[in-house]
Amino acid sequence: MESEVGKLRRVAVKHARDAFGDPAAVQRQWRDLRYLARPDVTAATTEYARFLALLEGAGVETLPLPSDDTVGLDSLYARDASIVCQQGVILCNMAKPQRRTEPAAQEAAFRAAGIPIRGRITGDATLEGGDACWIDERTLAVGRGYRTNEAGIHQLRDLVQDCVDEVIVVPLPHWHGPEDVFHLMSIVSPVDRDLFLVYAPLMPVPFREALISRGIELVEVPAAEFDTLGCNVLAVAPREVLMLAGNPETRARLERVGVTVREFAGREICLKGGGGPTCLTRPLMRDGG
C-alpha cells in the first residue's frame, strides 16, 4: 500500500456493535481500558453507521472484522493491530495487555479474506499500528513511545526492508504517561503528499524538519482542539478527509488550503476511547498517493 493519502479502496473495520457487544460487556471493561466514560452501545451503533456511510459514500469497500469473544472494546480501533505494506499485512504485538489478542483475531479475518500475511512482531518486541505512518511510498515513520519499543522497530525494519528506503524513528513524549492512548498518529495525519495535519507542540523538532525538508506543508491543529481529536483525520483521497465533528477551527484551516472535509459525530466511538477516524480503520488498499 505504502500511502496514507492515495484514493482509499479497501479498509478493514470493526463495527461498534461487534466490538462493544452488549451493555454488560461494556460495563465490565470500560474502566479497565481507561475509557473516559462508559460508551452507550445504542448511540455508538448509530454513530458508527454514519461513519460507515461516509466511507461507502467515498467509494471505499469495507471488510468487516467479525465479532470475536477473544477481544474487547478496543478492537473497535482496527488500525492498531496491524500494518500494511506492499508484501502484505504485518501483525503487531500490542503493548497494552488487554489488546494482546487482537492481532491473532485480525489474522484469522485476513486469511479468510485471502489477504497475505507478511509477518509478525514477536517476543518482547512491541509495535502498534497507530505508531506507523507512511510519509511517502518509500519512507515509513515509526513512533518510539510506550506502545512501540526499540525491538519492535528493529523487527519492523527487517519486515519492510525490501520496500522501504528509510524508516524515520520519531521519539514520542511522555505526555500523559504509559497508560495513555498516545501514538505517533495522535500528532500527525497525512492529508496529501505535500500536506500534513499536525499538532506542533508535541512534535519532535527533527521530525518536523524532516517533513518540511520533503516539501510537506504543515497545517497546525489549535491547542483547544487536540483533546477532541482534531489532529486525527482520515484521508479517503488526496485532500479529502473524514473528521470528528466538534473541531471547527481545524476544519476551517483545512478548508483554507483546499481540503474537502466530511464530519461525523463520535462522542461514543471516538472521544470516550480516545481514537479518531484513523484509529477506526485499517486501510488495506489505496491508489498510489
pLDDT tens digits for range 39-50:
999 999 999 999
pLDDT band at 1 (very low <50, low <70, confident <90, very high): low
Mean predicted confidence (pLDDT) in 12-37: 95
Is residue 75, in this structure, part of any structural domain at all?
Answer: yes
DSSP state of 286: E
Q: Is the pLDDT of residue 288 over 80?
A: no
Is residue 1, in this structure, part of any structural domain at all?
Answer: no
Domain count, the chain: 1
Is residue 66, in this structure, part of any structural domain at all?
Answer: yes
Is residue 2, in this structure, part of any structural domain at all?
Answer: no
What CATH number corresponds to the domain at position 207?
3.75.10.10
Task: Read off the pLDDT of residues 170-224 as tens digits, 9 standing for 90 and up.
Answer: 999 998 888 888 999 999 999 999 999 999 999 999 999 999 999 999 999 999 9
Residue type, 55: L
- The domain in which residue 213 lies consists of 8-286
pLDDT band at 289 (very low <50, low <70, confident <90, very high): very low
**Residue 242 confidence (pLDDT):** 98
Residue type, 4: E
Task: State the Cα–Cα distance between residues 134 and 136, nearest whole angstrom.
Answer: 5
Task: State the Cα–Cα distance between residues 88 and 96, nearest whole angstrom.
Answer: 24
Pairing of strands 8-13, 61-64: parallel
Is residue 146, in this structure, part of any structural domain at all?
Answer: yes
Contacts of residue 213, defined as CB under 8 A and 6 or more positions apart, other chains included, come to none
Is residue 180, in this structure, part of any structural domain at all?
Answer: yes
Task: Read off the pLDDT of residues 61-76 as tens digits, 9 standing for 90 and up.
Answer: 999 999 999 999 999 9
Residue with cell 512534535: 203
How many whole angstroms from its chain centre is CA 113? 21
Is residue 278, in this structure, part of any structural domain at all?
Answer: yes
pTM of the model as a whole: 0.95
Is residue 116, in this structure, part of any structural domain at all?
Answer: yes
